[in-house]
A = this chain, B = another copy of it.
Amino acid sequence: MTQQMGSQSLQFAEAPFILSSASVVGKKEGEGPLGESFDMVCDSDKFGEDSWEASESSMQKEAAALAMGKASVKPQDIRYVFAGDLLGQTIATSFGLMDYEIPLFGLYGACSTCGEALSLGAMCVAAGYADRVLALTSSHFASAEKQFRFPVEYANQRPLSATWTVTGSGAFVLAKGQGQAKITGITTGVITDYGVRDSMNMGAAMAPAAAKLIVQNFEDFGRGPQDYDLIITGDLGYVGQEILWKLVGDEGYDISKNHTDCGIEIFDAQRQGTQSGGSGCGCSAVTLSAYFLPKLASGNLKRILFVPTGAMLSQVSFNEGQNVPGTAHGVVIEAAD
């Protein structure tokens, strides 16, 4: 039997596998340090479409097709899709996945959605509700800037704490039996508000939620930093990483030796002018798919704690002067035996 661990975690008796995954990104991501590793880099960020929103949908469709192709499965072999994005009413997802006609559970967890989708997908497969599910998320720099901040044409200056929304979509086929890595447990986050109100400093807004999630994971599983080869947050960037280390340190754990952040890995911040780092639902998804899963498959990593982080703001909540609360979803991923 799958076990409830502590107050926020599950350990799967029979761990679902990540059968295949795929990453599709834009031009800037292709020029970054992980550029060679992505499955598809699109030279234009339009992905053949006329609007940024449709471009993001196109990217999702492509990522899903690639992941299914690698697993040699067709849409009708996938019982559920767990998917979401950052746009209002998650339109990138609705319009991107429509043609596949797969039963859809639409999710919203801001930039933590990849963790949420992998969690629910793993729960679903582990319970025998589906033989195969697809977990999928995306973000697009241009559609996100338009949604949350300023139109790109306005050329607003970006402070050093700002992150750069990744143009990318990551897709994962989960199944019983075999695969490149397995999901052995999850820790589900609560919404955490430390009073940050700066939409140009998402790292600071999300770090407290990530810190709480990581400490909770340690407590629920009776583990410490040494039990993970890497603890990988989603998009805290350099600014958020510093806060995270301090907050987790305050609880008695030093994660500075084995922590990294997808937002730090995906761009060369100095060369590419991405300030604090990358962000967005796509950031953690494509970095997991292109960079960390291959290391688990090759045995270079044995067990990681993957913690996509999300900032729960909207343009409306921001304009009405609300804080920016954060959340996080933790997924324990281990090398297949």
Query: Residues on A close to B: CB < 8 A?
Result: 1-2, 4, 7-8, 10, 51, 53-54, 76, 79-80, 84, 86-91, 94-95, 97-98, 101-110, 116, 119-120, 123-124, 126-131, 147, 188-191, 193, 312-317, 320, 322, 325, 327
Contacts and interface: CB of A to CB of B under 8 A. Distances in A.
Contacts of A106: 107-109, 116, 327
Interface centre among A1, A88, A312 (most CB of B within 10 A): A88
Contacts of A89: 86, 88, 108, 110, 312-314, 317
B84 A108 contact: yes
Nearest to A83: B108
Given A103-B190, A190-B103, A325-B94, A4 B130 contact: yes
Nearest to A216: B103
Contact of A190 (B101, B107, B127, B320): B101
11 contacts: A53-B320, A88-B316, A89-B312, A91-B312, A95-B317, A95-B322, A97-B191, A103-B189, A104-B327, A106-B327, A107-B108
B53 A316 contact: yes
Q: What is the oligomeric copy number? A: 2
Contact of A127 (B104, B109, B127): B127
A53 B88 contact: no
A132 B80 CA distance: 23
Nearest to A112: B106
A314 B98 contact: no
B190 A91 contact: no
A168 to B, nearest CB: 19
A88 B89 CA distance: 6
A190 B102 contact: yes
B193 A2 contact: no
Contacts of A84: 108
Contacts of A86: 89
Contacts of A101: 190-191
Nearest to A213: B103
Contacts of A109: 105-106
A310 to B, nearest CB: 9
Contacts of A130: 4
Contacts of A51: 320
Contacts of A320: 51, 53-54
Interface centre among A95, A105, A123 (most CB of B within 10 A): A105
Contact of A108 (B7, B53, B90, B316): B90
A131 B7 CA distance: 12
A329 to B, nearest CB: 9
